[in-house]
Structure 1
Amino acid sequence: MRLLPLLFACYVLAYLDRINVGFAQLQMKSDLAFSDAVYGLGAGIFFVGYFLFEVPSNLLLQKIGARKTITRIMVMWGLISMGMSLVHAPWSFYLLRFLLGIFEAGFFPGIILYLTYWYPARYRARVIAVFSSAFAVAGVVGGPLSGWIMNDMAGYWGLEGWRWMFIIEGLPTCLLGIVVFFFLDDKPTAATWLSDDEKKFVQGEIDAENASGPSKHGLSSYLIAMRDPKIYVLSLSWFFFVCGIYMMSFWLPTIVKEMGVSNPLHVGFLTAIPFTVATVGTILIGMHSDRRLERRWHCALPAGIAGAALIGLIFVHGNVYLSFVLLSLASLGIVTTVPQFWAILSEYLKGTAAAGGIAFVNSLGLIGGFASPFALGWIKTSTGSLDMGNWLVGSGMVLGGVLILLAVRPRECV
């Protein structure tokens, strides 16, 4: 209970700072005369910086420890997030989003790696589910919070509401990064709050699992991942899931606004509905996965449901209630794939080889974080609608689930 609440809070802030641009664009596009294509490119260019620096960041975590690495990441990305309030032209928007990606690089896979230092595989799906549900919670909390700031803070000291949103939501990240430095322990053996017997028990459990896997370190662990064909199949599956994640993260406020909701605060509350469903469902499905010791179908079925729901949205234009049902199902399916996918991967990549492998898969998959918002922005600018994007992302979610079933044998993820 000491680790997860702190890591959960860190990820809520991380994800909020990553996606609050989805709310900012409700005002920013008109204030700065940005097209949907400019917004989509700026939202996606975050992942270029993230891709370039993720693997080095994860390898550095293995060398210097999670406490220093996560502190560095959080303080720097908090400052850059606050700096987003200075955006005044497309080039500054692109530059700051790129820098945000650089400084946030390695956070999520670093935490996944860190959790393998503390939790045996049999508990990992529910632990990762709780941690990963933070990005759904960020949607639940961040929607109303962002909407309130943009609505009620507009005009203070001559600043637009979206500028205040970046400042107010970036500052807590810096402060929590400092807290991490003083309260996070790198490994069980360094935990002053565990007794000697508890340290030996926890470390013994982890060492016993790692003994069955490769024990390469640093760059060697990264090269092991690059030589494994299955890693590329899993990366492709993660790519499709990431496209779904960032369609919901960056475009959900726009989808709700186009239902006829103009007030940012109302948009914020309505976007919280799908993420609330996703938060509860992800944790329950993660617990069921651990009880059954089954990962493949717990990942593939939600992916298929999400894909069907996204495609179904195309056929219910004008029906607000049915649209929200489908948005909730899509959110539930998309969010659920995250902990299940990472439970599969962290159990497949044993030992310290996980450091390079986890970062490698995540960095390849996160190309979808660039492709999805960029393509959707271009599609919406060209066609005036996201329908084609729903087809593409929905089909990708289904294909990602199929790849999981084909690539992973049951005994590799239990």
Structure 2
Amino acid sequence: MLFVGDDWAEGHHDIEIMDASGRALTKARLPEGVEGIGQLHGLIAERIGPDADPEQVLIGIETDRGPWVAALVAAGYRVFVVNPRQTYRFRERFSPSGAKSDAADAHVLADMVRTDSHQLRPVAGDSELAEAIKLLARAHQSLIWDRQRLVARLRAQLRDFYPAALAAFGEELAATEALDLLGQAPDPDKAMKLSLAKITAALRHAGRRKIDERARKIQDGLRSEQLRLPAAVQQAYATTVRSLVAMTATTAEQIDYLERELTERFHEHPDSAIYLSQPGIGVVLGSRVLGEFGDDPDRYAGPKARKNYAGTSPVTIASGCRSTVNARYVRNTRLIDALMRQAMAALAGSPGARAYYDRQRARGLPHNAALRHVSNRLVGILHGCLATHASYDEATAWGHLHRGVRGLIP
């Protein structure tokens, strides 16, 4: 058996190879890419032999993505993903002073897989399609967050010099017609010259209803009296607004493009029908949840393991006579965001989820805590559906609430 610690950086990897007794056999700094992975294979082959089983090599690394990790998995090595927080705690065994170096971290990672591989999470064996869905879903969500930040900046700029535009568009500042009209008239002077025909055309292009009424309302809002800034300052603000409008519009176009690609890939996955059968889940949320959970059937030992990974299950801290139960805050933020959105939507679409939520509220729990309980239950239901290859059934999932006994789905 060989145990390898891989402390990765953007351009290189610090490697330590250790034997079963904990003795360091070799240390090296390898370049990223084909050259580096080839050198690593050579170092391992020198010490284990070319005919040995690759599963005799255990590798600890602090990431589960990228071509380097994919190459390690493809070679047949047993690769374990180590949380940096675990590495930090384990490092204290070797360095109480807090000293740190990349080579020392490689030693820590090698020793961790030597002594605690049974406690570590191996790299999931997800399909290529699931990995592609995860990447598209993350990119789609990141662009949505970027658009929200851009709209917030646009709103701040308009509030400082052109509040009439905020009054005219209200909460629909990110709407297609608002961006179109602000691009044509980014300041009060140009807005005064904006004709009703152009406003009507923008609304028609955006597919709005009651076009004439909305057009007059927008025109009246844009032409309302307001305090003015000096011409040079107003022009500077207008230039900034035009730039923010262009970036927001482009981001919206790319969000739509990614959503089309995401929808196509999601429907190709064999588990997509099971995800879409869950209450509160559509294509976008289903893609996010599938991507973050993965589709490796052996990744989660049971519903509890899936709930722990999701971050919906509580954490118990017990010592002596004291015991407290807290929410998990160290978790996959993208996954918990999607699951909480699902739980919120499920309150309207699932009588069982609504009854379960009302029960938690009756216990005195605040809204977010009660919603997290619903989400935790829905993760267990999803696990049961995936394990049995069955679609969601309201009676099976929530029947225990009426029978007074635990249902079939955990």
TM-score, length of structure 2 as denominator length: 0.28
Structure with bigger helix share is: 1
Structure with bigger strand share is: 2
TM-score, length of structure 1 as denominator length: 0.28
Query: Which protein is bigger by CA-based radius of gyration?
Result: 2
